[in-house]
Structure 1
Amino acid sequence: MSATARQTAPMPVDIKSRKGGEPIVSLTAYTTPMAQMMDAHCDIVLVGDSVGMVLHGLPSTLEVTMEMMILHGRAVSRGLSRAMMVIDMPFGSYEQSSEQAFENAAQLMRETGAGAVKLEGGQHMAQTIEFLVQRGIPVMAHIGLTPQSINTLGGYKVQGRGPQAEVLMQDAKAVAAAGAFSVVLEKTPQGLSDEITASIDIPTIGIGASAGCDGQILVVDDMLGLFTAFKAKFVKRYADLGDLGEAAIAAYAADVRARRFPGPEHVFADAAPKVKAAQ
């Protein structure tokens, strides 16, 4: 996608300047048509590693690869002209070293046109975030429930209750100090989410956090009712397209079996017979 086509999209510095202002609207996307639908309405479109579960039927995000992220990132980029695209760094692509993180982040941005990358982790990832930012890679941080760490977290549990609240607060301050332009707070208690939002100078993007965050994000297939394997408490269904789609497929199957489809309006007439020349 050309620079001209994306010149109206906000940049990370623009998102950071929204701290305390009008809430930032964000959704995930994995395909061109979905990106086209949300482009006029979202400030940020995230190519999330949730694609592994939502579109590929994987049990978690841990099996998502760089190749998958690049494939879907290119697709989403083709559907955007207004919103800023951020892309997730998949599990295993940034944890080993800052140098590894830079190499893979640069590849993701270079091959997809993303304006920034997102990576999971708080204090222990601060050095990597600083390394990337100093080298021209804008970073959206992600703390609280970090799905790539579910094996050590013990599942998809609320994070930040009790003594863990102070750890999460320090995580938020660490990623902000390291230069992240925003931070996702996932599945964190409302009060703590509000305290974090008031304590750092970068926007907080909530998912299962608080309406007091500087913005919100949801997985688009969740909010449209397309992903029905489970429904998290923090998801609001704005449509039930999964039910509508299944009903439409059932109607199609019934029409085919009853030979109601295709009808006369869906088929093509035979060619008109040629008129024989007079003998």
Structure 2
Amino acid sequence: MLDFTGRVAVVTGAAMGMGNATARLLAKQGATVCLLDISDGVEVAARELVDSGYKAYGYKVNVTDQVDVDRVFDNIVAEHGLVDHLVNSAGIARLSSMFDEQADANLQAMIDVNIIGLWNTSKAALRSMVEKKKGSIVNFSSVTGTFVADAHEVGYAATKSAVWGMTKAMCMEFVTEGVRVNMVCPGMIRTPMVEKSAAEMMPDNPEAVLSAIGASVPMGRMGTPEEAANAVAFLLSDEASYITGREIVFDGASTLPETNVKSD
């Protein structure tokens, strides 16, 4: 097991899904975990960890608001010490229509959360890391935009591709400051957001949608938030001390086939 004892870790988008799974794993591995989310559910998630005997604190924050982000990070530093690790998991997807019909507001919402939110939280966390001359950040990109894309994904693909570029540029700016910046690129992971989309597509039988998605993956299933958390924790850890500016793809081999034809 990786050891984060004595470390302060901040996880955004921590109320549910991959962010929540990451926060839970880091807490179990000894970190003092600060869960950030715009949802009231972040406080419930933190209480559940505390009730299990872990060090966890919930902070409701709008990552698109730099003033709000700075307020929360100032509180974190005052209450728990300088930040050692940041996981930028907060993200949204608006995939409801074709590009030429997509509302500009949907694009702006994704830019605000997926790009500006990451910008704001990274700037706030880096102040601690530069002061300590040590730290690690993991950003959530995606296989969408960086490796593959489907219809309805133009805006989402653009923002997740931006995370790729931001990760590499931040790496080069702070590598001499002892700070590592990496990213993870999930494929199809069974998260509450994916389950919600399935329910919207087929309200009478969302499991049929989820099963079809899983069957389309060469491994034959979707990934779990816990599997995502394992990849994130490794990149954050000292065991990955010579890895920076790089990506881990976990997609059950979904980006590898040259065709959609499956052999028996």
User: What TM-score do the two structures reach when normalised by structure 1?
Assistant: 0.35
Q: Which has the higher contact order (CA 8 A, sep 6+)?
A: 2
TM-score under structure 2 length normalisation: 0.36
